[in-house]
Amino acid sequence: MVTLNCDELSTREVNSLLHRLPVGSAVTITNPRGRHNLAVGLSNALEVTIDGNAGYFIGGLCSGPKITVNGFVGWSVGENLMSGSVRVNGNASESAGASARGGEIYVSGDASSRAGISLKGGTLVVAGDVGHMSGFMAQAGVMLIGGDARDALGDSLYEAVIYVAGAIDSLGSDAIVEDLEDSDVHLVKELISRSGFDHISPEDVTRVASARRLYNFEALSGVAY
């Protein structure tokens, strides 16, 4: 087990040491004290534990590692994640999982505004609530929210699907609630099993998807201008 102490190492040193470790290594990063950009851009499948509260872009741009944060994180955790996972045992600030193309991001507490913004194929599971404009312009992938969603959920959604266990303050433009099918229940069950957020009842979630009314211009819309 490798330990990297942020009190002794710069962020660049921490990341550079991580990049050089062989696949399968287990690493603990200590004393993060809100440090940004920890464990970013890793393409080696490490097991990284960040012990404490961390800053922005934790685990961003990674392909392969399994990252766990024992604390809260700042903006854009798992931003542009390609594969692997980032698990936050705490709350996440804004834009959790922004533009993630693959991989899985789990937040055991709440996530703030714009969670899953521009999601491009990744999976974002939040045990608690999410802030306003979550799922904004999400193109592909899936979000599961164990608590409530604030205003304008799924605004301008493309093909991503959002499941919400709690209440939705309001849906964003072009987002609609659709019937839950068996395939949805299976998917949600699988996400619950992977995340361990078993307070969610898979048959009782709400499915939010795109109404696809913004995909094309309507010829008659012209008269509005």
Partner 1 sequence: MCGIVGLHLKEAALHRRLGELLTPMLLAMSERGPDSAGIAIYGDRALDGSLKWSLRASAGEIPWDDVGARLGRELDTIVQMRRVADAAVVTLDGDPKLVMKTLTEWFPDVTVVSFGHSVEVFKDVGRPAEICKRYGIAERTGFQGLGHTRMATESAVTTEHSHPFAAGADLCLVHNGSFSNYASVRRRLSDAGITFQTDNDSEVAARFLAYEIEHGADLGEALESLMNRLDGFYTLLVATESQFAVVRDSFACKPAVIAETDEYVAMASEYHALATLPGIDKAQVVEPMPREIHLWSR
Write down the least CB distance from residue 108 to partner 1, Å.
15
Residue count (the chain): 225
Q: Does 93 bind partner 1 (CB under 8 A)?
A: yes
Task: Identify the DSSP state of 28.
Answer: E
- With CB under 8 A as the contact rule, the residue among 131, 146, 154, 172 that binds partner 1 is 131
The tokens describing 87, both together, are 């698990």
Interaction between residue 76 and partner 1 (CB under 8 A) = no
CA-CA distance, 148 to 26, in Å (whole number)?
35
The DSSP result for 68-99, as a single string, is EESS-B-S-TTTT--EEEEEESS-B-SSTTTT
Among 55, 97, 121, 135, binds partner 1 (CB under 8 A): 55
Cβ atoms of residues 116 and 132 within 8 Å: no
Residue 33 in the binding site for partner 1 (CB under 8 A): yes
Is 113 a binding residue for partner 1 by CB under 8 A? The answer is yes
CB nearer partner 1, residue 82 or residue 107: 107
74 or 202, CB closer to partner 1? Answer: 74
- Nearest 5°: CA angle at 131, between 87 and 101? 50
Q: Does 94 bind partner 1 (CB under 8 A)?
A: yes
> Can you tell me which of 21, 28, 34, 176 binds partner 1, judged by CB under 8 A?
34
Binding status of residue 121 toward partner 1 by CB under 8 A = no
Query: Among residues 49, 108, 112, 134, which is the contact residue for partner 1, using CB under 8 A?
Result: 112
Q: Spell 175-205 as b/e; 16+ CB within 10 A means b.
A: beeeebeeebbebbeebbeebebeebebeeb
| Residues making contact with partner 1 (CB under 8 A) | 33-36, 53, 55-56, 72, 74-75, 91, 93-94, 112-113, 131-133
